[in-house]
Amino acid sequence: MNDSPMNGSTRGVLLAVVLAMAPVSSVLAQVAAEPAPRSFYADRRASSPGDALTVIITEFSTVQATAQTSVNKGESANASVLQPDTVRQSVGVDFDSRFAGGGQIERSGKLIAKLAVTITGVDARGNLLVKGEQDIEVNNERQRISLEGFVRPEDIAPDNTIPSWRVGAARIEFTGKGLLARKQSPGILTRLLGWIWE
């Protein structure tokens, strides 16, 4: 059987099918490029850069140091002096030195807060690098909490929280600015005398 050339009607139908398929393929490509919607039952824990999680900060620190120093030292020297009338006279000298000193340092601190942090990256071991800060201002008193470190994905709870003692290489800063913070710092004269006597 010899192949007959395609007639005009067949070509028109084929062209119509191709044109109809073009929009469908573009829509399918666009849908494939978009991220799939997250299922209601899917794990919603933070795992990618840009995701947020909550760090529950519960830090307690206590420092206590005691030092005692005691030094005793004694020396004595005796000499004889010959007088003109050939009478010997004894002369004695005693030296005594004593020093006693001591010091004690005791300091404790407590910080309890909740801080939302953002995942900034993922290291070679799969740990999540996190960073976040929070500013609070009440009655002209400004307080700032910042945290930086890394967490393991398996340590994040299902409610997207993690305790601060599970944050590796954690750097937690709590600073204040205002009248109360100024009253807690030593004055200029006190700092100057402390610098001289160090």
Which of 160, 165, 175, 173 minimizes the C-alpha distance to 131?
173
Which of 46, 57, 20, 35 minimizes the C-alpha distance to 148?
57
The rounded distance, in Å, linking the Cα atoms of 78 and 198 is 41
The answer, as to whether pTM is greater than 0.85, is no
The rounded distance, in Å, linking the Cα atoms of 141 and 180 is 7
Residues 53-96 have pLDDT tens digits of 999 999 887 777 787 777 777 777 666 666 666 666 666 667 67
The rounded distance, in Å, linking the Cα atoms of 128 and 121 is 6
The rounded distance, in Å, linking the Cα atoms of 43 and 113 is 25
For residue 150, pLDDT beyond 70:
yes
Residues 1-37 have pLDDT tens digits of 444 555 556 666 665 655 555 555 554 555 455 555 5
Lowest mean pLDDT among 8-12, 99-103, 167-171: 8-12
User: What is residue 124's three-state secondary structure?
Assistant: coil
Residues 6+ apart with CB under 8 A from 108: 60, 61, 62, 63
The rounded distance, in Å, linking the Cα atoms of 74 and 47 is 71
Q: How far is CA 60 from the centre of its chain?
A: 15
